[in-house]
């Protein structure tokens, strides 16, 4: 029998080599709700807390990650948009200097499900977190925002 609810996981267990944030924190559009007059979609609300859902897309830095795990989306339920840590300047041999934003998830949970959108079904994971912070700061920021994971 499959688990029917989320369970807590450590950031370091899911992402042992860390993650790099891609883009910005974005609101999750509610595709089940009717469109607004301007054609946009309202923001999806978390079923457990009633808080707005935000999405962060990260690149798994683990060399062993498969192609399906390289880009991972993690949702965050919060009254206000989570603020990521500042980017850092990194020098990559042969590519020069580039700006990267490394983050760590606070209060990370996972939910397994069967993804049957390909040639054959596979086990996939849905991730949700309470917040984001700079790597190594999750223990200090548990959670970093007082409203994380709590209904208004």
29-85 per-position pLDDT tens digit? 999 888 888 888 899 999 989 999 999 999 988 777 666 556 899 999 999 999 999
> Considering the entire predicted model, what is its pTM?
0.80
Q: Which distant-in-sequence residues (6+ apart) come within 8 Å of 25 by Cβ?
A: 54, 55, 56, 76, 81, 82, 83, 84, 132
Q: What are phi and psi of 92, to 5 degrees?
A: -110, 125
Pairwise CA distance, residues 50 & 38, whole Å: 24
Q: What is residue 54's predicted lDDT score, i.e. its pLDDT?
A: 98
Q: Note whether 97 and 90 are within 8 A (CB).
A: yes
Distance of CA 104 to the CA centre of its chain: 9
| Residue 146's pLDDT band (cuts 50, 70, 90) | very low
pLDDT of residue 4: 62
Instruction: Parse the chain into domains and list their residue ranges.
Output: 7-32+41-133
pLDDT for residue 144: 40
Percentage of the residues of the chain whose pLDDT score is greater than 70: 84
Q: Say what the pLDDT of residue 104 is.
A: 96
The whole-number pLDDT of residue 122 equals 84
pLDDT tens sequence across 83-114: 999 999 988 888 889 889 999 999 999 999 89
């Amino acid at each position: 029998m499959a688990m029917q609810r989320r369970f807590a996981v450590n950031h370091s267990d899911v992402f042992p080599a860390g993650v790099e944030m891609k883009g910005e924190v974005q609101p999750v559009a509610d595709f089940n709700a009717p469109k607004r007059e301007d054609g946009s979609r309202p923001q999806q609300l978390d079923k457990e807390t009633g808080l707005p859902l935000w999405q962060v897309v990260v690149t798994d830095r683990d060399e062993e990650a498969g192609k399906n795990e390289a880009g991972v989306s993690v949702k965050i339920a919060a009254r206000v948009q989570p603020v990521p840590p500042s980017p850092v300047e990194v020098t990559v041999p042969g590519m020069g200097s580039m700006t990267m934003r490394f983050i760590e998830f606070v209060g990370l949970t996972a939910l397994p499900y069967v993804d049957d959108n390909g040639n054959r079904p596979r086990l996939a994971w849905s991730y949700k977190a309470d917040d984001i912070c700079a790597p190594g700061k999750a223990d200090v920021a548990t959670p970093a925002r007082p409203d994380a994971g709590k209904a208004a």
